[in-house]
Amino acid sequence: MLDKSDKPIKPVAITNKRKKEVKNLTPPKGICGECGSGFSQDWNSGTGLYSSFKLCPECRISTAKKEEAYKIRLDYTPHPFQRLVHESSARFKVVCAGARGGKDFCLVTEFFLKLMICANEERPTSMVPRVLGWIIAPTEKLARQNWRDLKRVVPKKLIVDESRSTGQMTLRNGVLIELHSAYNPEDLVAVGVDVALITEAARIKDMQVVWENLEMRLNSPGRGVEGKGGIGLINSSPLGKNYFYKMWLWGRPESDTYDSDWESFRWTTWDNPYMAIRADDICPKTGLTYKERMKRRYSKVRYEQDILAKFLSDE
């Protein structure tokens, strides 16, 4: 389980040179807490660190097989816009939403649900890991936020092993979840991925390279629901008309670049019912609502981009 001494991952601080130095060292050994045998820890190219699992690979798999099936009930009621995302059958989903619109938790939940569907399928033993999910974030701060959201969604009784320092979590049903940084897109190459979640994609500098590397991982044989291909979930608030905007257009039927594998969604901060209530709070002295006061404080560009989730021109 989580060691209190574990520290958050610091992807930006780990240089490529340092990653190579660490990887070239002899893999650290672990002693399995179940069978007592020694095993080598796994290398995580995204964080530039080795894993710190408490169980050997064999015991992690056998523990998953011994567990009886049980139902998972999530404490989550999606608002109308979030529900549209969950109801979509698209393989790739892009969510553009205003700050505090609920885009992160929506896609973290969708990420977990799709992994559970994959875990309930019959898969050959040659698929290692049996089910693999990646969460990709542009910065250390956003990586920590996604880890917290993930811990809110995944039931504790389902977790076999976890380490926030290496950004890895193993579940009892054979699911391995890894947290990756987009700091070096060329590190995002590995075995096949079942579900990938990219958060705040508009703020990833080399988003095009990140996606081109990642899409090939999602096309690995047998991955995704029913082996039909890995699933991509992308969210962000807009930042001009950069590569995230191009991806968003892929899921819009009115766009010249529309692709039927994609579906895109957009909503504002005020479309979240919680923020909608806050928006109507009236200041006794001025008689202005919170929405009106915020609009006064923000620049026009910042308000339309961060709150109304509008794609503005680069200029």
> Between the CA of residue 56 and those of 32, 159, 175, what are the distances in Å?
5, 15, 15
pLDDT at 28: 81
Phi, psi of 172 (to 5 degrees): -65, -20
pLDDT (tens digit, 0 to 9) for every residue of the chain, 315 residues total?
334 334 434 444 445 555 555 555 677 888 887 787 887 887 665 556 777 777 777 776 665 554 455 577 788 899 999 999 999 999 999 999 999 999 999 999 999 999 999 999 988 878 888 999 999 998 777 777 888 888 889 988 889 888 877 788 999 888 999 888 887 666 666 678 999 999 999 999 889 999 998 898 899 888 999 999 999 999 999 999 999 999 999 999 999 999 999 999 999 999 999 999 998 999 988 999 999 999 999 999 999 999 999 999 854
Q: Encoding tokens for residue 137?
A: 């974030």
Cβ–Cβ < 8 Å for 209, 186: yes
pLDDT at 7: 41
Q: What is the mean pLDDT of the chain?
A: 84
> Between the CA of residue 262 and those of 92, 160, 220, 239, 242, what are the distances in Å?
5, 34, 18, 21, 18
Distance CA 236, CA 247 (A): 11
pLDDT at 27: 73
Cβ–Cβ < 8 Å for 186, 16: no
Residue 267 falls in which region: left (phi positive, over 0), alpha (psi -120 to 50) or beta: beta
3-class SS of residue 176: strand
pLDDT at 240: 92
Name the pTM for this structure: 0.77
Cβ–Cβ < 8 Å for 186, 154: no
Q: Encoding tokens for residue 12?
A: 């930006």
Cβ–Cβ < 8 Å for 244, 201: yes
